[in-house]
Structure 1
């Protein structure tokens, strides 16, 4: 689920609380190129006012027209893009077909547990029985995925990935904010009270304790990424020493090539094995020429996204990237008064 989903659910709940009839539209299957993935949501009120997205806009307009002609009384499926002419009519990519479930909502109780899960960063499965529209909820796991078998629609709400950020500085703030839109539950660890006091990003969970203790406590798995951004060896090294021994799919740290080389030497002295050191991503992020904190956050999330999607990307112009990250780290340190490595 992405950040748009929570907005769609909030709007739908608001309409229901105002006494309006609401239909929830869910992408249940796609073939070929499709503008939105399975699970994407669209809410329509009784006047056909849309909120959310299941396509580039033309499908939403057609759904609104259908709804104004007669509000649905039961769950129904609709397919778009079956023919090339229809695909052109509704602005679908070449060969793109999508199937939707249109679900008239019986009341707030059919959505509120899902919305609560998203707001709390928890995982919840929502099951819709197509025959009678009955809705139920259960706990979900990160391995669960949205499915539709023709009789039951199962939707998974809440973040299915975790991002543990060591440090509560400027880069971390941008990274935490952006990551929540990409299906991450964000955890922040920084034992420095002055940084914690200045933290303002909502939705991220601040964890007390030293970095090595926190890494062990969160028990990183294959859906966990750990990024050390304090640029303070005393803190970053503690986290990395533990993180590299876990199943985390990504372990990275801020710093130039020279800083990274010194970090590897220090970690080796802390009995981190050569094999474990090969898992360390540094300089952190893809080489996009990033200099500012938000640009560095973008580069980190780009690398995480590539790994999640199984995409292998060449690191272009590494020297330029390393230099830019080093400059950026010094600029951030100067602005916040922190020490650099």
Structure 2
């Protein structure tokens, strides 16, 4: 669930608390080209107010029209489909003949929206199971290490199961200024963020990204990285970074990066190979200098470059951080 959908749930709860009738729509399947992924949500109030989006706007307009006409006085969840055929696809803003399937559910006391929001506020991951006959929702905890983003929605003839809460994790080694920007941006992208820095002279104020003063390699081991985990080292201190990077590069983490110039990256690779017996294949997984080369100079720009590269890796887009700058020092890599 991204932050846009979390905002929709908060709006749904506010409307429900104010005794408005609300219908919540969840994308269950798409064919062809669809504007938003499966699991995305939209909410429509009885007077036509809308929160969220599942298309370029045309489907939302149709839902509002249906509600104003009284056609969506639902007693139980109902599945509808948009965009069948080229003409309908064009009408509903689905390019390339796309088709979109939407589960509509009337929001009531059994929808458990407030309980879901409470658990999400604590950073938990939650399975929301909707009974398609009664509309009643149950909330459970996903199995440990169940982080398959492709399995965020399961629809059967009797129920719909959706995954909520952070699907991706980020460990930042170092609590400096750049880490503050990286953590804030990652939280906005729905990462579960943890920061590690054993140095007491680096304060940390971002409560949504908890800080531990334990040694970074111990934190990586405890984190038990999986394919939805990113680890970024930002301390410039080999005593802190190298052991943690060793553990990270031996794990299934989808992204491992370290700040530093190309000269220092070459020295780091040599240390990791000589002292920790990492293979060339493992070392090739290290993104250093970390992030895309976009000409970034300031801490927020560098944080943006790092998250842009992480996003590309998540979606399998082939980009590289190895472009040689045309002039000047690389951002954040002068030592």
Q: TM-score, normalised by structure 1?
A: 0.89
* Residues 229 and 315 (structure 1), Cα distance of their counterparts in 2 relative to 1, 3 Å cut: closer
Q: 2:147 aligns with which of 127, 142, 148?
A: 142
In the aligned structure 2, how far is the partner of 1:271 from the partner of 1:108?
Answer: 55
Q: 1:321 to 1:31 in 2, by over 3 A?
A: farther
Equivalent residue of 1:72, what SS?
A: coil
Q: Tell me how far apart the structure 2 counterparts of residues 322 and 4 of structure 1 sit (CA, whole Å).
A: 38
Picking from 278, 291, 296, the partner of 1:285 is 291
Deviations 1:176-206 (A, max 9, x none): 122223332111111223323xx33342122
Which one of the candidate residues 309, 313, 329 is aligned to 2:315?
Answer: 309
Which whole-Å CA distance do the structure 1 matches of 2:305 and 2:49 have between them?
37
CA distance in structure 1 between the partners assigned to 2:285 and 2:259 by the alignment = 15
Farther-moved stretch of structure 1 (122-131 vs 169-178): 169-178
Task: Provide closer, same or farther for how the CA distance between residues 315 and 207 of structure 1 changes in structure 2, counting only shifts above 3 A.
Answer: closer
Cα shift at 1:40: 0.4
The alpha carbon displacement at 1:282 in A equals: 0.6
* C-alpha contact 2:225 2:251 (8 A) present in aligned 1: yes
In the alignment, the residues of structure 2 paired with residue 2 and residue 274 of structure 1 have an alpha-carbon distance, to the nearest angstrom, of 36
Change in Cα spacing, 1:313 to 1:156, as seen in structure 2 (3 Å) is: same
1:111 aligns with 2:117: no
Gaps of 5+ in 1: 331-340
Distance 1:321 1:312, change over 3 A: farther
Residue 159 (str. 1) matches residue 161 (str. 2): no
Q: CA RMSD in A?
A: 2.1
Contact 2:289 2:333 in 1 (8 A): no
Whichever structure has more helix as a proportion of its residues is 1
Contact 1:230 1:236 in 2 (8 A): yes
Shift of 1:264: 1.8
8 Å contact from structure 2 (residues 110, 136) kept in 1: no
1:80 to 82, 103, 119: 82
Q: In structure 1, how many angstroms separate the alpha carbons of the residues matched to 2:96 and 2:227?
A: 35
Alpha-carbon distance in structure 2 between the residues aligned to 1:4 and 1:250: 24
Q: Take 1:161 and 1:321, find their aligned partners in 2: how far apart are those partners?
A: 35
Query: 1:195 corresponds to which residue?
Result: 202
- The 1:62–1:301 alpha-carbon spacing in structure 2 relative to 1, beyond 3 Å, is same
The verdict on how the C-alpha distance between 1:253 and 1:31 changes in structure 2, with shifts beyond 3 A counting, is: same
Separation in 2, partners of 1:321, 1:263: 23
Q: Which runs of 5 or more residues in structure 2 are unaligned?
A: none
Partner SS for 1:195: coil
Q: How many residues align?
A: 327
1:215 to 212, 217, 220: 220
Cα distance change, pair 75–108 in 1 and its aligned pair in 2 (3 A): closer
Partner residue of 1:49? 49
